[in-house]
Copies of this chain bind each other. A is one copy, B any other.
Amino acid sequence: MSAVLKTEKPTREHILDAATRLMHVSGYRGTSLDDVLRESGVGKGNFYYYFKSKEELGYAILDRLVRGFVERTLEPSFADPSLPPLDRIHRFLDGVLETQRQRNCVGGCPMGNLASELSDVHEGFRRRLAEIFMRWGERLTEAVREAQSDGSLAPACDAGRLAQFLVASLEGAILMSKVTKEIQVMETCVCELKAHLTHYATGAPASINPGLGRARTPGFAAGTGPAQSVGGAIGRVGAEPPSEL
């Protein structure tokens, strides 16, 4: 023991880690306090010392989640000065895709999940989530504007609306690859979104979608069976969660 490093890892952080992991897979309602306590090894009384309710735990998770997302995914892409503005957007899209690939399509977007689960049932969560998505959209808008003043995107295009569309489509893409458990769905969507951006490029005559993708992915072709879930991937997330979203 001794006083070598007193702050080994504060209990509050332990709770947040466990709860974030569990709720990412099972949702807010699907995760009981007892689950969180068991997973984190913290007693009940201790939990209520740090959080006054499950609701407040949820808020704390959301706060930490969005901070991690901004720091680890959003800003590293958009604030990279070595990349041309349009490439920064591409890198962002690829980043989100890679996160889903690393997770084997398990969990989806934690913010999107909470939005789906709680928006119509808990106004406090709804408001916070709406604000999170708005901020995300605003940051993307900025990135689009940079690409416009750089000349790689047409200035006539409404940056805010395009950004809104990108956010929504990404969320949908994550959800669809979560339900099909096929990363190919997300690959297709990201590729299609890049094509959409390209179409707004200043002088581009527009390329056509199959040419942009990797290795000719299937899409909805013949009536082959769906899913064939990745062996035991359900509920298993590689040890340390790679990163948020």
Residues of A within 8 A of B (CB): 25-27, 29-30, 106-108, 112-113, 115-117, 119-121, 123, 126-127, 129-131, 133-134, 137-138, 140-141, 154, 156-165, 167-173, 175-176, 178-181, 185, 188-189, 191-192, 195-196, 199-200, 205-206, 208-211, 213, 217-221, 223, 226-227, 229, 234-235
Contacts and interface: CB of A to CB of B under 8 A. Distances in A.
A161 B115 contact: no
Q: Chain A binding site: helix, strand, loop or mixed by DSSP?
A: helix
A120 B134 contact: no
Given A113-B117, A199-B199, A200-B209, 10 more contacts: A27-B117, A123-B234, A134-B226, A156-B208, A157-B209, A167-B172, A168-B172, A168-B185, A169-B189, A172-B172
A29 B28 CA distance: 10
A235 to B, nearest CB: 7
A80 to B, nearest CB: 21
A176 B189 contact: no
Given A26-B121, A210-B158, A175 B176 contact: no
Number of identical monomers bound together in the oligomeric complex: 2
Contact of A167 (B141, B156, B164, B176): B176
A167 to B, nearest CB: 7
A159 B26 CA distance: 34
Contacts of A211: 156
Contacts of A200: 206, 208-209
A162 B172 CA distance: 14
Nearest to A217: B161
Contacts of A121: 25-27, 30, 235
A58 to B, nearest CB: 14
A181 B130 contact: yes
A215 to B, nearest CB: 12
